[in-house]
Amino acid sequence: MNVTIDLKKAETYFSEEDFKGNREKAGEALCRLLTMEDHDQVLGWTSPCASREELEIIKEKAEEIKKEGDLFVLVGVGGSNQAARAMIDALADGQGPEVLYMGNTLSAHSVSKMLKRMEGRNVYINVIAKNFETLEPGSHFRILRQWMKKRYGREEMAKRIIVTGTKGSRLEEIAKENGYLFLSFPSSVGGRYSAFSPVCLLPIGAAGLNLDKYLAGMERAAEDCRVNPSSNPAALYGAARNLLYGKGYDIEMLVSFEPRYSCLAKWWVQLFGESEGKEKKGIFPSSAIYSEDLHSIGQYMQEGRRNLIETFVSVEDPGARAVIEPDPEFRDGFDYLDGMDFDQINKAAEEATLNAHWKGGVPCIRFLTKTMSEETFGELFYYFMTACAVSGTMMNINPFDQEGVEEYKRSMFAALGKKV
* Beta carbon of residue 96, minimum distance to ligand PA5 (angstroms, whole number): 23
- The DSSP output letter for 341 is B
- Is 258:374 a contact under the CB 8 Å cutoff? no
Handedness of CA 50, 53, 54, 60 (dihedral sign): positive
Q: Which is nearer to ligand PA5, 202 or 244 (CB)?
A: 202
Q: Which is nearer to ligand PA5, 14 or 180 (CB)?
A: 180
* Beta carbon of residue 262, minimum distance to ligand PA5 (angstroms, whole number): 19
Write down the catalytic residue from 113, 167, 281, 409.
Answer: 409
Site for ligand PA5, rule CB under 6 A: 77-80, 129-131, 134, 137, 190-192, 274, 402
Instruction: Of 371, 247, 385, give the one whose Cα is nearest residue 306.
Output: 247
Q: Is 109 a catalytic residue?
A: no
Q: Which is nearer to ligand PA5, 312 or 383 (CB)?
A: 383
- The DSSP output letter for 185 is -
Q: CA separation (Å) from 82 to 173, 232, 262, 269, 329?
A: 25, 25, 11, 10, 47
Q: Which is nearer to ligand PA5, 5 or 380 (CB)?
A: 380
Instruction: Of 276, 277, 299, give the one whose Cα is nearest residue 288.
Output: 299
Instruction: Of 269, 245, 267, give the one whose Cα is nearest residue 391.
Output: 245
Return the number of other C-beta atoms located less than 10 Å from residue 398's C-beta: 15
* Beta carbon of residue 319, minimum distance to ligand PA5 (angstroms, whole number): 30
Tell me which residue has its CB nearest to ligand PA5.
191
- Is 379:217 a contact under the CB 8 Å cutoff? yes
DSSP-assigned beta bridge partners for residue 181 = 162
Helix axes 108-118, 135-160, angle to 10 degrees: 10
Q: Which is nearer to ligand PA5, 138 or 238 (CB)?
A: 138
Measured distance between the N- and C-terminal CA atoms of the chain, rounded to whole angstroms: 49
Rg of the chain over all Cα atoms, to the nearest angstrom: 22
Write down the catalytic residue from 116, 280, 295, 419.
Answer: 295
- Three-class DSSP category at 360: coil
Q: Which residues have a catalytic role annotated? A: 274, 295, 409
